[in-house]
């Protein structure tokens, strides 16, 4: 029984350290969210003329932005919950190639691939650099500080 008590004590003390550890909040991803929404607003008629299903996808993305704005007082939860809806932007990306004239379609397609390649490279660089420098900052996957402490 003593061994079980000690192991439970170690677990709960580690859990308390985890809960009380400070975490970083997202601070510039909102620019991307609003930028994507602005793109959808500017090219709405062309996107719907290319594929009528884009109207529903844009509605889902806009719902995600509304959820983000409602939960803005808790930025971590706002980003995570709205990301479930904003991810549908991936389905609209191929339609953006058709928005521009035939003359520019190949260039726009190459630009989109280059942007996503750069984003992937930057993301991997951030993860690798954080791992190599021994970064011990907690990456929170559950917004526990708000949802568990404010019920």
Please give the pLDDT value at position 82. Answer: 87
**52 bridge partner residues:** none
Confidence band for 141, pLDDT divided at 50, 70 and 90: very low
Each residue's pLDDT tens digit, 47-84: 999 999 999 999 999 999 999 889 888 777 888 888 88
Please give the pLDDT value at position 7. Answer: 57
Q: How far apart are CA 83 and CA 71, in angstroms?
A: 12
pTM listed for this prediction: 0.61
Please give the pLDDT value at position 83. Answer: 84
Please give the pLDDT value at position 118. Answer: 86
Task: Check residues 115 and 141 and name the one with the higher pLDDT.
Answer: 115
Task: Check residues 61 and 138 and name the one with the higher pLDDT.
Answer: 61
Please give the pLDDT value at position 5. Answer: 55
3-state secondary structure (DSSP) of residue 29: helix
CB 101 within 8 A of CB 94: no
How many H helices and E strands in the chain? 8, 0
User: Which percentage of the chain shows pLDDT scores above 70?
Assistant: 64
User: Which percentage of the chain shows pLDDT scores above 90?
Assistant: 20
Please give the pLDDT value at position 124. Answer: 73
């Amino acid at each position: 029984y003593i061994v079980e008590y000690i192991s439970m004590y170690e677990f709960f003390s580690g859990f308390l350290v985890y809960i009380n550890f400070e975490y970083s909040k997202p601070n510039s991803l909102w620019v991307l969210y609003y930028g994507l929404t602005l793109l959808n607003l500017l090219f709405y008629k062309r996107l719907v003329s290319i594929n009528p299903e884009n109207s529903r996808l844009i509605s889902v993305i806009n719902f995600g932005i509304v959820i983000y704005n409602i939960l803005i007082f808790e930025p971590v939860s706002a980003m995570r919950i709205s990301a479930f809806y904003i991810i549908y932007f991936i389905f609209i990306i191929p339609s953006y190639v058709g928005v521009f004239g035939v003359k520019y379609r190949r260039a726009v397609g190459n630009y989109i691939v280059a942007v996503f390649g750069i984003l992937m490279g930057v993301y991997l660089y951030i993860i690798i650099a954080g791992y190599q420098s021994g970064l011990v900052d907690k990456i929170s996957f559950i917004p526990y500080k708000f949802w568990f402490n404010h019920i």
